[in-house]
Structure 1
Amino acid sequence: MDAQLIELARTAGASVVTLMATDAWERTRDGLVSLFRRTDPSRAEGVQGELDAARDDLLSARDTGDELTEGELRDAWTGRMRRLLVERPDIAEDLRALLSELDPGAKDAPQGVHLRAEASGSGRVYQAGRDQHITER
Structure 2
Amino acid sequence: MEAELAALAASGATALVGLIVSESWDRAKSGLVRFFGRRTSDEVADEELQSELEELGRAWAAGDAAARERVQAGLRRRLEGIFQEDSEAAVELAQLLSAVAPDASRTFVNLVGGGVNYGPAFQGSHIHGGITFHVQSALTPASDLAVRPDQVPLVTVKYSNRRAELAALDATLGVRVERPGSVAVDVLDGLPGVGKTAMAWRWAETAQERFPDGQLYVDFAALRDQVTPMTGPGADVSEALAMCLRSLPGGDIGMPSSLLERTNQFRSRTANLRILLVLDDVSHPAQSAR
| TM-score normalised according to structure 1 size | 0.71
Query: Cα distance, 1:92 vs. partner?
Result: 2.1
Q: Which residue of 2 aligns with 1:96?
A: 94
Distance in 2 between residues matched to 1:64 and 1:112, nearest whole Å? 33
Residues 64-103 of structure 1 aligned to structure 2 (within 5 Å): 64-103=62-101
Distance in 1 between residues matched to 2:35 and 2:75, nearest whole Å? 14
Residues 23-62 of structure 1 aligned to structure 2 (within 5 Å): 23-37=23-37, 39-40=38-39, 42-62=40-60
Which stretch shifts more, 105-114 or 23-32? 105-114
**For structure 1, which runs of at least 5 residues remain unmatched after alignment?**
115-129, 132-137
Identical-pair percentage: 25
Distance in 2 between residues matched to 1:10 and 1:23, nearest whole Å? 22
- Provide runs of 4+ in structure 1 moved above 2 Å: 1-8, 111-114
- Which has the larger share of helix? 1
Q: Given residue 36 of structure 1, which amino acid in structure 2 is its aligned partner?
A: F
Q: Which residue of 2 aligns with 1:126?
A: none
- 8 Å contact from structure 1 (residues 28, 102) kept in 2: yes
Query: Cα distance, 1:56 vs. partner?
Result: 0.4
- 8 Å contact from structure 2 (residues 83, 89) kept in 1: yes
- 8 Å contact from structure 2 (residues 56, 67) kept in 1: yes
CA RMSD, 1 decimal: 2.3
Distance in 1 between residues matched to 2:57 and 2:41, nearest whole Å? 24
**With CA pairs under 8 Å and 6+ residues apart, which has the higher RCO, 1 or 2?**
1
Distance in 2 between residues matched to 1:3 and 1:97, nearest whole Å? 22
Residues 88-127 of structure 1 aligned to structure 2 (within 5 Å): 88-105=86-103, 106=105, 107-109=107-109, 110-113=117-120
Distance in 1 between residues matched to 2:118 and 2:56, nearest whole Å? 29
Distance in 2 between residues matched to 1:77 and 1:25, nearest whole Å? 15
Query: Cα distance, 1:91 vs. partner?
Result: 2.0
**For structure 2, which runs of at least 5 residues remain unmatched after alignment?**
110-116, 122-255, 262-290
- 8 Å contact from structure 1 (residues 9, 78) kept in 2: yes
How many equivalent residue pairs? 114
